[in-house]
Amino acid sequence: MSAVSPAIAVISDIHSNFEALTAVLDDIRSQEVQQIVCLGDIVGYASSVQSCMRAVRELACPVLLGNHDEAVCLPTPPTGLNDTATAGIVFASARLSESDRAWIMSLPRNLEIEGIDFTHSSLASSFGWPYIISPEDARRHFDNQPSRLAFCGHTHKPMVWWQESPDGQVTQRIGKDVMPLPPSGKVLVNVGAVGQPRDCDPRACYVIYRPDKNNVEFRRVEYDIKRTKKKIIRAKLPKFTAQRLSVGR
């Protein structure tokens, strides 16, 4: 009889929100979880750059490269970003050590662990950072997903995508509470965002995958939003970066 794989906590899109990150890590410790995987975007937007970097590095867990992580290591911010995103990248870039930069640039874009695929954005392309928003976006991802199950972040919106067969219809469901996974076909789980949810729920979001039950649990965690907002304003980052945290958008 083969051993059942342990439960995995998957976190993503921390975005320099230390209060949200510590609340999520405390919640993970209260669960029967043996492994954590971080899907990237540790930095960007909020102000606790060094605290979040240190906390994630100390986890010594698998970590992927996110688009904001990559951007802070470039000579200049990428074109096409809105002013809020650019301000967060410039702010973070000025506060990273050379050790942090070297570590960030060593991170993989995708990872396979025990037959599960992990990516920050999508497996549809190795260039750029495509979003998975529509069923067609998910279909392109599934065309490049070798495993039955994958996890992603990037959109900040918890979601489950499912395709029964390569030519089959893609089904999507909003990620909420405990959700059984389909027994066949390919499944993609967007784990939402720890530090900046955008599904109109301001609580931090992450996922626990339990292989023995073939389900995922979308966990929402309260944190000290007021403290995070005050730190953002004190750092003279855009007010919108702070304001949106209260409404989860």
Average pLDDT, stretch 187-206? 98
pLDDT, position 167? 84
- Whether 1 shows a pLDDT value over 50: the answer reads no
pLDDT, position 104? 97
84 vs 62: CA distance, rounded Å: 28
pLDDT, position 170? 96
pLDDT, position 166? 85
Average pLDDT, stretch 210-233? 97
Average pLDDT, stretch 7-12? 97
Neighbours of 146 (CB within 10 A): 10
Q: 78 burial class (0-12, 13-18, 19+ CB within 10 angstroms)?
A: middle
- Residue in the structure block whose two tokens are 């907002």: 229
Residues 6+ apart with CB under 8 A from 242: 228, 229, 230, 232, 233
Domains of the chain by start residue, with CATH: 8-246 (3.60.21.10)
pLDDT, position 78? 87
Which residue type occupies 52?
C
Is-contact 195 21, C-beta < 8 A?
A: yes
pLDDT, position 2? 47
